[in-house]
Amino acid sequence: MTDTRSLSDVTLGALRKAGLQPQDEAAMALALMYARRIDAVPGDLSDLGPKLLAVLASLGMTPAGRGVKGGKQDATPVSNALDELEQRRAKRAGTNGA
């Protein structure tokens, strides 16, 4: 089955479902602008493709942006250095970190 929707339509739909905050509006607008430019001039994505992907990742809309290794739903979340420090501190204090 082939999806005939444009990249900007898919991006807009994903942005609407992402549950983002009002302070994310500038990044959302940028992602949509990149998607519309890619739709307008299809072909070489070497310039705008990575830029769109980076904006989507910054919004948590890609596996990497959600902190998942390998991009799989059942993949192990990437550990955060701050989380690790908090866990170590809680362990030293004799608590479970909850």
Predicted TM-score (pTM) above 0.75: no
How buried is residue 68: exposed, middle or buried, by Cβ count under 10 Å (0-12/13-18/19+)?
Answer: middle
The 10 Å Cβ neighbour count of residue 61 is 21
CA dihedral 77, 81, 87, 93 (to 10 degrees): 180
Q: Which of 56, 52, 49 is nearest to 71 (CA)?
A: 56
Give the model confidence (pLDDT) of 51-84 as tens digits: 999 999 999 898 888 887 655 555 455 556 666 7
The 10 Å Cβ neighbour count of residue 24 is 16
